[in-house]
């Protein structure tokens, strides 16, 4: 059991950390692509990229899909981008309302006496709206998401609190890198990670904690 009571700021990713929503969002993105394109092989390549780069913003992903995989000409990209993003956002608002909270998360959160924030790759207004509707916003001092990059949101939180005495909890490599780039600690929450093997390797290299459950951790 790791004691994590010495931090002033606790920062949590959302998908796969607070909510068991990783697979739900992957399916939502696949559905959004299918609504706009018919090339199954290209769609699967997009979904695989999405899965392996979870934590980056949807704006990054869709731009990458259209330019690098689907090879949509420049004149049509904006139309497809708007269509995919709207379809994906509509699905996310629905799935977020029903996604399960990861087991033991709220019990763990209530033990943390410092300031508590969310830094997510999800769209910020969407995330704030859903957390308010579910009554989860009361547990956090701030909720930050895309289009700002995760590393920027973590930096913003630390600047707000004027400290680097912080710990980030995440299940993606982007979470780990955001913590490292801002000189704060990191805990890899593994049960729902899309990149479990790589995250374990990189976390060990950096000498950070790993957890298979919230019950392993204690504030």
Percent of the chain with pLDDT over 90: 93
Q: Quick one: angle between helices 196-205 and 173-181, nearest 10?
A: 20
- Average pLDDT over every residue of 36-47: 96
Backbone angles phi and psi of 142, in degrees to 5: -175, 150
**pLDDT tens-digit profile of 171-219?**
999 999 999 999 999 999 999 999 999 999 999 999 999 999 999 997 7
Token pair recorded at residue 177? 């890198």
- Average pLDDT over every residue of 34-53: 96
- Threshold 0.85, pTM exceeds: yes
* DSSP-derived secondary structure for 166-214: EEEEESSHHHHHHHHHTT-EEEEE-TT-TTHHHHHHHHHHTT-EEESSG
Q: What is the mean pLDDT of the chain?
A: 95
Residue 54: strand, helix, or coil? strand
Dihedral through CA 5, CA 11, CA 17, CA 19, nearest 10?
120
């Amino acid at each position: 059991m790791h004691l994590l009571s010495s931090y002033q700021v606790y920062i949590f990713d959302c998908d796969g950390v607070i909510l068991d929503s990783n697979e739900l969002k992957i399916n939502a993105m696949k559905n959004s692509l299918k609504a706009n394109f018919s090339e199954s092989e290209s769609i699967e390549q997009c979904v695989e990229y999405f899965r392996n780069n979870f934590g980056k913003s949807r704006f990054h992903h869709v731009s990458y899909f259209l330019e690098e995989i689907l090879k949509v000409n420049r004149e049509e990209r904006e139309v497809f981008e708007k269509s995919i993003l709207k379809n994906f956002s509509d699905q996310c608002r629905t799935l977020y309302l029903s996604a399960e909270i990861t087991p033991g998360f709220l019990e763990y959160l209530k033990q943390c006496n410092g300031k508590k924030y969310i830094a997510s790759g999800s769209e910020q207004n969407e995330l704030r709206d859903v957390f308010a509707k579910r009554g989860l916003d009361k547990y956090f001092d701030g909720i930050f998401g895309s289009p700002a990059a995760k590393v920027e949101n973590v930096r913003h939180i630390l600047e707000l609190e004027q400290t680097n005495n912080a710990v980030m909890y995440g299940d993606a490599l982007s979470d780990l890198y955001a913590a490292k780039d801002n000189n704060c600690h990191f805990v890899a929450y593994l049960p729902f990670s899309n990149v479990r093997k790589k995250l374990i390797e990189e976390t060990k290299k950096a000498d950070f904690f790993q957890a298979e459950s919230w019950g392993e951790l204690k504030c």
